[in-house]
Amino acid sequence: MQAKTIRRWSWIHKWSSLVCTAFLLLLCITGLPLIFHEEIDELLHESVPAAQVPSGTPAADLDRVVAGGMAHAPSEFLQFLIWDRDDPNVIFLSIAKAPDAPSENNRFLRVDAHTAQFLDAPDVFGHLTYYLFKLHVDMFAGLPGKLFLGFMGLLFVVAIVSGVVVYAPAMRKLDFGTVRSKRSRLVRWLDLHNLLGAVTIVWAVVVGFTGVINTWADLVLKMWQYGQLTEMVGPFKGAAIPQQMVSVQKAVDTASAKLPHMTPSFIAYPGTAFTSTTHYAIFMRGNTPLTSRLLQPVLINARDGSFTDTRTMPWYVQTLLLSQPLHFGDYGGMPLKIIWALLDVLTIVVLGSGLYLWLARRGPSRRASKAHAAISAKAAAS
């Protein structure tokens, strides 16, 4: 490689890293506990357990589940009914002040899926994991914060790619994984930076880029609303939210009959962002680890219970849905979560050592920085 090319890539590596490092440190540090958010919530917050029932116990009628929960929130409206992925004995009811109110600040009610008994209403906004989550997702700055962090994520990917290019001249005379322990601190940290960068690279690119995709979730939802959802709703667009709705259990039965090989994942009630003003949208998922991440909505007219339409979701929604497990690391049990955490810690060291290398090479004066340059040149040559 020509010296000019190396200098150019070094410049890209330096500046893409410097701009994003502080935010990437925030993301890695808040992301670390979020890998274990369920365990942390369980540890810090009491919750009423659902009844332990023998496997094969039939689920309670959903209309009873809804009635059991909503009796504890008489002046509020049900927006989403969600089957708990982690605990099949629990159903979440996501409720708001109006059927078509924004859903960001919804309260949650937990209801027993078999007995239809109300369990509790966890105060999720008071949970530590909620603050970490908000810091991680948008720094409490809404969509602009999200998109900004997404841009930082893109810079992170640029930093990784340019890091691969500058890795070659740095390792020209070294075996893989060499840490020159008897050399100056700068050389040791350079070696550590190169080693840890090299071992975490694929994981970091995948987690980094799927994180970027996740920052576009709101935009993806908007695209789907204006595209496929509008087509599916057709002439029902703009209809009034029904005062009386048909049985939600019947709606789910109809949806399950249409897609017998799928399992209901959540239901969006009329007026919410995931459906029209007059349909239940029953979102069905597949039954393998991969297809259980993919959703297919079935629109059921909430006025009369008739089937309106179902379609597989467009590629941009599927991409978002598949990118989620790859970002969260929640798809391979506890061992995968621990591996996620360890790789996250290594990434923190890569970020920190990169920052240190920049500071140390900058030095207090030009003379010092020239001396450092000489040291690193010598280091690279030896």
Partner 1 sequence: MNPPKRNAPRPLSRIFAIPLVLGLVSGIGLVAALVGDDLWDAIGWLGLGIPLAVTVWCLWRPKQRIM
The least distance separating partner 1 from the CB of residue 202, rounded to whole angstroms, comes to 4
- What separation in angstroms does the CA of 99 have from each of 28, 58, 86, 240, 307? 37, 30, 27, 11, 21
* Span interacting with partner 1, options 44-52, 58-66, 249-257, 339-347, rule CB under 8 A: 339-347
Is residue 157 a contact residue for partner 1 (CB under 8 A)? Answer: no
Is residue 341 a contact residue for partner 1 (CB under 8 A)? Answer: no
Is residue 263 a contact residue for partner 1 (CB under 8 A)? Answer: no
Is residue 206 a contact residue for partner 1 (CB under 8 A)? Answer: yes
Is residue 294 a contact residue for partner 1 (CB under 8 A)? Answer: no
Is residue 317 a contact residue for partner 1 (CB under 8 A)? Answer: no
Nearer to partner 1, 154 or 339 (CB): 339
Given 56, 74, 333, 364, the residue binding partner 1 (CB under 8 A): 333
C-alpha–C-alpha distance, residues 188 and 185, integer Å: 5
Tell me whether strands 118-120 and 295-301 are parallel, antiparallel or unpaired. Answer: unpaired
Q: Looking at the DSSP assignment, which residues form a beta bridge with residue 282? A: 267, 298
Q: Of 245, 248, 260, give the one whose Cα is nearest residue 116.
A: 248
Binding mask 160-199 for partner 1 (x = CB under 8 A): -------xx--xxx-xxxxx-x------x--xx--xx-xx
Given 49, 144, 314, 332, the residue binding partner 1 (CB under 8 A): 332
Q: Looking at the DSSP assignment, which residues form a beta bridge with residue 281? A: 268, 299
Q: Of 72, 74, 78, 109, give the one whose Cα is nearest residue 95.
A: 78
Nearer to partner 1, 147 or 336 (CB): 336
Given 141, 143, 257, 342, the residue binding partner 1 (CB under 8 A): 342
Coil vs helix vs strand at 355: helix
Q: Of 99, 93, 95, give the one whose Cα is nearest residue 119.
A: 93
CB 101 within 8 A of CB 272: no
Residues that bind partner 1 (CB under 8 A): 167-168, 171-173, 175-179, 181, 188, 191-192, 195-196, 198-203, 206, 288-290, 293, 322, 325-326, 331-333, 335-336, 339, 342-343, 346, 382
